[in-house]
Structure 1
Amino acid sequence: MAGWFSFLHGEATAGDVLALHRVEDVLRRAGIGHDVVWSPGFRPDAPHLDDVRPAAYTHLVFVCGPLHGPQIEDLHRRFAHCVRIAVGTSVIDPGGPAVTGFHRVLARDGAPGTVPGPDLAARAPGLPALPVAGLILTHGQHEYGPRRRHEQVAGALTGWLAGRDCARLELDTRLDAHDWRLCATPAQLESVLTRLDLVVTDRLHGLVLALRAGVPALAVDPVAGGAKVTAQAHACGWPALVPAERLDAARLERWWHWCLTDGRRAAAETRERFRGAGAAAPPDAADGLLAALEGRVAA
């Protein structure tokens, strides 16, 4: 079985791979053995087109995507002896060689005289629910001079997260009324944060805004010796803090697990404490503002 996910210069989309899973499920239930070829750029350790012997197969099934271009035409030449079937595909040019090279085209759309059908991804087997992690990093804060470890921290966090089976969402606390990729108001950002399972951050406000939303934060202080992230974690009574000098996978794993278990309750309790009124709320600098103003006026 092949698809656009098989070509070195193709691409693997979530929809394409789910469509493949749907077809695999059908073949598996029917007891039909099959192999899948992948792009070496996407799955280096899987079988690739250059690795397989066309003579070893009786059928070629092409899954999902548009039927056009030289890469599909080359499949017809390489597997000329095979029965070639396209399934769940879009037909761009019914008379083009990429289309006519197939013995059978079970199209999702574009085939003359046929009604469009649902994409194969719609009925793919169910998937497990995975943690959704927001990543909030800063690459600035040059005021800390030689104590900065921001590049090392960002590299370690992104490399570590890339290896975790989770959904990752890169976020920024910076607001912009003109850039659609950024939130324009705090309410917009908070609406995103409340939908996450945890936040991984090296920013003070990444930590505080996550806790304000009731979401556990795995915080890393990117300044050697500790600076405002450490101070804020202590002020909020938040334990999931890793110093830049002690940043390693083992500590990240431990706090990741804690954030997704006990940390959920701790974050919810922190949020309620932030929302408390009067004596129930933790004091902050604004509580002393009126006294400071009155003192200055009196002076």
Structure 2
Amino acid sequence: MESIQRIFYTSDQVKLITDAYRHVFGPIGGELREYWDLDRKREWGCLTSDFQVATFDQYEQASKLAMQVEATIFDPVQRGHALREVTRQTKVGLSLGPCPWTDHGLFQTYEQNKGKGRLTIILGHDWYPIVPARAKTPHPVDVPLSRYAGLRGLIKYINVGAVPASIMDKSEMLIFLNFKPDFRPPNSPTVGPFEPYARCSEGFNALVDAVSRNFKVQVISWGANVWELLRKQVADLQKPLGICVHARSPEGFGRPLELICGKRTIPYLPLAHPCDRRNFNEQHAAHAKEGFLKMGLGGTGKVSPL
């Protein structure tokens, strides 16, 4: 099997990221702890690490063990269960914080923006399967210390207009999250039914409350699945329209909404998922651009030349 080339975070970089998490999220309360499943009560809630207490040695041990699993176990279901066992053995998840894209986004945008008092959450639906179903080449396993390209590597999504300019030029602090923070089960497809657990909304509201203690927060969501759940929390929403119909309506086009998260109300821009150009077409890109401008995010981002 061909070896997988990875770039790893150094101990100093891990300290920067975990210190950033501690500043951004503050103490982890019970609802947020349950949301991230830091006590490993859900079957595949083994992605997020408790960055308040995790050490570099734990991340390093989990990384080594995860790569050993990758090199020696090839059945996808067995590999998935072995990776889950790594997280129970080492007491960290398979990322430094909520997920690898959160790690990388904060790594790239925290230091220069930490004093601005604001941040933007880009919210997806859920993370990939812990071992995705693949016909030929296995997908690389998640490794806590592995430095992924993250959101900035999604050239397809950037090119269709789904990422704000200030995220691309790193002038806005980015927190990339998924509404459901767990893995999908091993050997399952990366697309298909979205099945959030019962208290996902309460957990996300607790997350917004935690982040809002030190920062002015706004949210951009990707996909109909998340919109259909969050629109129940939108203030003064006249009709529960589908995401694309809402974006085309005079009330919805380019207009950030008010999302009620417990006792907090924050700006919210719902978008179709950028993976499908039938939904995220030119008209929808115009909706996104206008919304980004109104949120102070500089319109649509572009891929920087190498």
- TM-score, normalized by length of structure 2? 0.28
Q: Which structure carries more strand by proportion? A: 1
Query: Which has more radius of gyration?
Result: 1
TM-score (norm 1): 0.28
